[in-house]
């Protein structure tokens, strides 16, 4: 029986445009420059831009190990790339203000909630299916993402929200799914994970022992691990979960078939 669903954020619950990263970068740099100046530190824009790239490469090395750090560490790394002594010189009050400036661009231009997300989350709640959010973060921290979800009216649909910058581990490491299971109070056999990425979501959840529904519009299966189901739109999720439950209850005529996972492909029933 499916008692809980864990769901990915980016590309699943919310979507953004390819230009978003560059917009956030510009707004972060402008906010950092203004904040530093307010605390009496004049740092040329070119130096901040160089430090932003250098700190990003440092973060990427951490992320490739499936680990993560708090957003305050991002700011410290960036300041160190300007001048190794700068974090100590600016002081703790400035670090707090700089972290706010660094974190806030997504609040001004938030990602768009998937058109079916609110209805799907409501449908799951009506079926007494507990929902948890499991998401990697980049430069926008989990605290800000919760604020965005609250403004979009869906934060209260999640019984738990697990963000990599807060727990220190990233998908596809099974540990982040284990954290979600613990917070939800669920056994992994009762949980299905939903996400779009074949590595982070499909392989990660599989390694954690979860069943998986992949959101893959027009892509089909794209992982060495086959998901239990593939959907082309998030709105198809409730129906596919019902299919999985029916297949789980259906007795197998051949005992060997009982060990096979059911596979479904939900097709759109109307215009996109």
Which ranges in the chain belong to alpha helices (H)? 20-38, 45-64, 71-82, 86-90, 92-103, 105-108, 117-126, 142-151, 164-167, 174-184, 204-207, 237-249
Closest CA to 200 of 218, 212, 191: 212
Quote the CA–CA distance of 193 and 161 in Å, as a whole number: 14
pLDDT reported for residue 265: 44
User: Of 17, 36, 175, 18, nearest to 97 (Cα)?
Assistant: 36
- pLDDT for 250: 74
Per-residue pLDDT of the chain (272 residues), as tens digits, is 999 999 999 999 999 987 889 999 999 999 999 999 999 999 999 999 999 999 999 999 999 999 999 999 999 999 999 999 999 999 999 999 999 999 999 999 999 999 999 999 999 999 999 999 999 999 999 999 999 999 999 999 999 999 999 999 999 999 999 999 999 999 999 999 999 999 999 999 999 999 999 999 866 555 577 899 999 999 999 999 999 999 888 765 554 444 444 444 443 333 33
Instruction: Specify the pLDDT at position 147.
Output: 99
Instruction: Say which CATH superfamily domain 4-16+112-266 falls into.
Output: HAD superfamily/HAD-like (3.40.50.1000)
Q: What is the DSSP letter of 161?
A: E
What is the β-pairing status of strands 191-195 and 229-231?
unpaired
Residues written for the chain: 272
Contact, 161 vs 180, CB < 8 A? no
- The DSSP output letter for 185 is T
Cα separation values, 36 from 80, 89, 107, 271, Å = 14, 11, 21, 50
Nearest-angstrom CA–CA distance, 265 and 43:
54
The residue among 208, 144, 219, 209 whose CA lies nearest residue 171 is 208
The strand order across the sheet containing 191-195 reads 160-163, 130-135, 4-7, 191-195, 211-215, 229-231, 264-266
Domain boundaries, the chain: 4-16+112-266, 20-108
**Are 202 and 223 a contacting pair, CB within 8 Å?**
yes
What distance in Å separates the CA atoms of residue 110 and residue 127, rounded to the nearest whole number?
Answer: 29
Element (H or E) spanning 2, and its range?
Answer: none
């Amino acid at each position: 029986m499916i008692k809980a669903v864990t769901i990915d954020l980016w590309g699943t619950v919310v979507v953004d445009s390819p230009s978003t990263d560059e917009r956030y970068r510009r707004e972060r740099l402008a906010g950092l420059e203004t904040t530093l100046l307010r605390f009496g530190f004049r740092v040329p824009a070119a130096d901040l831009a160089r430090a932003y790239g250098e700190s990003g490469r440092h973060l990427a090395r951490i992320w490739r190990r499936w680990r993560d750090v708090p957003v305050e560490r991002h700011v410290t790394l960036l300041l160190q790339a300007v001048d190794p002594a700068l974090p100590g010189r600016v002081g703790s009050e400035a670090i707090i203000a700089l972290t706010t400036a660094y974190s806030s661009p997504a609040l001004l231009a938030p990602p768009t909630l998937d058109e079916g997300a609110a209805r799907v989350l409501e449908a799951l709640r009506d079926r007494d299916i507990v929902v948890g959010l499991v998401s990697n973060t980049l430069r926008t921290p989990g605290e800000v993402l919760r604020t965005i979800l609250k403004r979009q009216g869906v934060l209260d649909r999640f019984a738990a929200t697990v963000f990599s910058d807060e727990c220190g581990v990233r998908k596809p490491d099974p540990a982040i799914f284990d954290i979600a299971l613990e917070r939800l109070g669920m056994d992994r056999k009762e949980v299905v994970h939903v996400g779009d990425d074949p590595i982070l979501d499909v392989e990660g959840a599989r390694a954690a022992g979860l069943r998986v529904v992949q959101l893959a519009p027009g892509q089909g299966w794209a992982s060495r691990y086959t998901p239990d189901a593939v959907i082309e739109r998030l709105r198809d999720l409730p129906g596919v979960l019902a299919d999985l439950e029916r297949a789980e209850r259906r007795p197998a005529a051949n005992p060997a078939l009982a060990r096979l996972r059911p596979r479904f492909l939900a097709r759109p029933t109307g215009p996109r």
